[in-house]
């Protein structure tokens, strides 16, 4: 059965299950890593400070033996095993985290890549060289045992070595890898990028899509679809058209997954538009956050728990796990139990797909397939019309997430609102300047250490006061598309602010972080479900991109600029006029 046919059949089954109020299927078949009594008892006993640790531990023997021994132990204790016996059981039947991986210094890493010479500031140039060194620490390779005994591991086997984010994330992740690859290409590591691309293409061939990350418990959810963009950057760097030709149908297959499984039809002004959303109709707590999800579900009526767990998985699929973006419109928009990700049509997801459709049209034209090129050109045109009709807010001059239940747009600020600008999915040349006005009106330019993820402080990691590297990229490269020197100047200043935050924290702590707290000087970020992580793949990638783009102007020692919006200047001038020219 083809992945597409399998997806259609699964959707029909899920629809029947939802209609009859039956429990949703688990995130994977494993009765150890995805569902079952063993997983429940170990995770609810909280043997480890991070639930992810247990589901990342390899088995010491085949699952059937482990389950049989666990069943015997559970029966001996009336299915409520004491904590000490659980610890002993896990120690006897599982191996420590990371045993299936080995460090891999990339074989195409070389000293002093060319882009370093473009950086004028000596301190920033030295720092960029140290970031280039970090790739060697983040390289991983999967041991052959995972291929020969896959049932003993939650890790999904990949043939080629790869770069991981860092910290607790010892496997590769989907959307993280795009910014990692951008950095690797600047480091002249195209062979590493090709291997990572091939791993993703192999996953599409096997599963019909790219999972959130390389673990079986991530199988039924994806992440923001950037595979086509990854291919574009690799081909632009290497001109390897043969590799593109060999894999173009796999790229199409991945986009089919989003078209078949993640679309929603919205009617407005008498016309119907097809757009995409994040949607993961699978039940049970997320295995890697099991105890948190189970305890959260205890705060809602029993009949709502499966829906909550599915919405949490959709939030994880968005990459923004978690954020006020997915809480707005819920019964209490400050509580994670209000998560309703699948009820929103996200700006960034549709911008990424719009960009992918445009790239696919270009790819097929380059390969001489005019019919397929026209197909994707039409798909992009349809999505552009839908973005304009449903997500564009003329008053604010920006795109906004669309709430399917209320039929309204979410007026809150998020950097993702600028994603179509970054993706080149707009037709009005003045759009970037409108986006600048939007940033001014939202007072975003008053933040001196980075663009905040939102203006709401919910305690979730994808909200204020955290700032994330990929979101800086969305805003900076989006504004840089403007022909206006003023708007381009703001893009540069935002890049200067972010580089200075990264550089200052690195100077203090000798580490790069996945996120930063920008509320009172740049510091490692916080909030969410786990401690802030060091590494860090996409932060390094974005820093190298900005150093490459603006290296002739960026400085390590100047004061961070306070970008005073035009409206504040106008207000100040009026105030002075009233003082000196009284009526």
Residue 562 is given by DSSP the state -
Write down the mean pLDDT value for the chain: 92
Which pLDDT does position 123 carry in this prediction? 98
Can you read off the two tokens belonging to residue 130?
A: 């140290």
Output the six-digit token pair for 542: 């974005």
The CA-based angle 558-537-356, given to 5 degrees, is 105
Q: pLDDT band for position 563 (50/70/90)? A: low
Confidence check: pLDDT of 18 > 50: no
Let me know: does 346 contact 275? Beta carbons within 8 Å: no
According to the model, what pLDDT value does residue 209 have?
98
Distance in angstroms (rounded) separating the CA atoms of residues 492 and 552: 11
Residue 423, both tokens: 């993706």
Average of pLDDT values for 365-372? Answer: 98
Taking only the tens place, the pLDDT of each residue in 508-556 is 999 999 999 999 788 999 888 777 788 899 999 999 999 999 999 999 9
pLDDT (tens digit per residue) in 132-163? 999 999 999 999 999 999 999 999 999 999 99
Q: How many helices (H) and strands (E) does the chain have?
A: 21, 13
Region 497-512: what's the mean pLDDT? Answer: 96
- Summarize pLDDT for 55-103 with one digit per residue, the tens: 999 999 999 999 999 999 999 999 999 999 999 999 999 999 999 999 9
401 is catalytic: no
User: Left, alpha or beta for 562 (phi > 0: left; psi -120 to 50: alpha)?
Assistant: beta
* Nearest alpha-carbon partner for 513 in 522, 521, 399, 104: 522
Average pLDDT over residues 558-563: 49
Nearest partner of 515 among 496, 482, 548, 537, judged by Cα: 537
In terms of residues, how long is the chain?
583
Q: What integer pLDDT is reported at residue 172 of this predicted model? A: 96
What's the mean pLDDT in 192-211?
98
Cα–Cα distance measured from residue 424 to residue 383, given in angstroms and rounded to the nearest whole number: 13
441 in catalytic set? no
Query: What pLDDT score does 5 carry?
Result: 40
The burial class, CB within 10 Å (0-12 / 13-18 / 19+), for 387 is: buried
Residues 291 and 51: beta-carbon distance below 8 Å: yes
pLDDT digits (tens, 9 = 90+) for 240-278: 999 999 999 999 999 999 999 999 999 999 999 999 999
pLDDT at residue 15 is higher than 70: no
Q: Which H or E run contains 265?
A: strand 263-268
219, 286, 310 from 306: Cα distances, Å: 18, 11, 6
What are 283-314's pLDDT values in tens digits? Answer: 999 999 999 999 999 999 999 999 999 999 99
Which residue out of 514, 517, 534, 548 is catalytically annotated? 514
Tell me, what's the pLDDT at 328? 87
Q: Tell me, what's the pLDDT at 532?
A: 74
DSSP 213: B
Instruction: Give which of 241, 278, 452 is closest to 364, Cα–Cα.
Output: 241
Output the six-digit token pair for 203: 């996953």
What's the whole-number mean pLDDT along residues 424-450? Answer: 97
Whether 322 and 281 have beta carbons less than 8 Å apart is answered as no
Of 321, 412, 463, 517, catalytic: 321
What is the rounded distance in angstroms from the CA atom of residue 431 to the CA atom of residue 384? 14
- φ, ψ of residue 425 to 5 degrees: the values are -105, 70
């Amino acid at each position: 059965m083809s992945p597409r046919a399998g997806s259609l059949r699964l959707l029909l089954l899920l629809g029947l299950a939802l209609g009859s109020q039956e429990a949703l299927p688990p995130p994977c078949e494993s009765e150890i890593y995805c569902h079952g009594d063993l997983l429940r008892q170990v995770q609810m006993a909280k043997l480890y400070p991070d639930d992810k640790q247990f589901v990342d531990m390899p088995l010491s023997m085949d699952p059937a033996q482990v389950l049989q021994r666990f069943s015997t132990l559970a029966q001996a204790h009336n299915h409520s095993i004491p904590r000490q016996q659980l610890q002993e059981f896990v120690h006897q039947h599982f191996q420590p985290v990371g045993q299936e991986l080995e460090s891999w210094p990339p074989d195409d890493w070389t000293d002093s890549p060319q882009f370093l010479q473009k950086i004028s500031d000596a301190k920033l140039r030295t720092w960029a060289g140290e970031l280039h060194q970090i790739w060697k620490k983040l390289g991983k390779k999967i041991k052959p045992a995972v291929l020969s005994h896959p049932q003993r591991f939650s890790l999904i086997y990949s043939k080629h070595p790869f770069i991981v984010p860092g910290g607790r994330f010892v496997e590769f992740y989907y959307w993280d890898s795009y910014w990692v690859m951008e950095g690797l290409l600047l480091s002249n590591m195209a062979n590493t990028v090709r291997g990572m691309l091939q791993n993703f293409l192999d996953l599409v061939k096997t599963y019909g899509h790219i999972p959130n990350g390389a673990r079986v418990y991530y199988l039924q959810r994806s992440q923001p679809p950037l595979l086509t963009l990854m291919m574009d950057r690799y081909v632009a760097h290497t001109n390897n058209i043969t590799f593109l030709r060999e894999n173009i149908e796999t790229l199409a297959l991945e986009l089919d997954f989003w078209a078949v499984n993640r679309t929603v039809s919205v009617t407005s002004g008498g016309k119907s538009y097809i757009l995409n959303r994040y949607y993961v109709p699978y039940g049970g707590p997320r295995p890697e956050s099991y105890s948190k999800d189970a305890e959260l579900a205890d705060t809602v009526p029993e009949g709502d728990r499966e829906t909550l767990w599915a919405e949490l998985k959709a939030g994880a699929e968005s990459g923004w796990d978690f954020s006020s973006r997915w809480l707005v419109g819920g019964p209490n928009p400050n509580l994670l139990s209000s998560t309703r990700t699948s009820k929103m049509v996200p700006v960034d997801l549709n911008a990424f797909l719009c960009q992918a459709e445009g790239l696919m049209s270009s790819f097929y034209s380059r390969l001489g397939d005019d019919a397929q090129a026209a197909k994707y050109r039409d798909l992009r045109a349809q999505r552009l019309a839908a973005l304009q009709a449903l997500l564009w807010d003329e008053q604010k001059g920006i795109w906004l997430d669309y709430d399917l239940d209320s039929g309204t747009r979410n007026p809150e600020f998020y950097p993702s609102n600028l994603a179509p600008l970054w993706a080149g999915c707009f037709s009005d040349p003045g759009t970037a300047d409108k986006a600048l006005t939007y940033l001014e009106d939202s007072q975003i330019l008053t933040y001196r250490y980075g663009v905040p993820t939102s203006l709401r402080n919910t305690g979730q990691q994808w909200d204020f006061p955290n700032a994330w590297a990929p979101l800086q990229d969305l805003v900076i490269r989006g504004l840089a598309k403007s022909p206006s020197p003023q708007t381009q100047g703001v893009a540069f200043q935002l890049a200067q602010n972010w580089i200075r935050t990264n550089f200052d924290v690195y100077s203090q702590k000798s580490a790069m972080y996945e996120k930063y707290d920008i509320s009172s000087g740049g510091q490692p970020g916080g909030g969410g479900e786990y401690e802030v992580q060091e590494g860090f793949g996409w932060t390094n990638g974005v820093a190298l991109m900005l150093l490459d783009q603006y290296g002739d102007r960026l400085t390590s020692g100047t004061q961070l600029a306070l970008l005073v919006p035009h409206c504040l200047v106008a207000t100040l001038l009026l105030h002075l006029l009233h003082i000196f020219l009284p009526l």
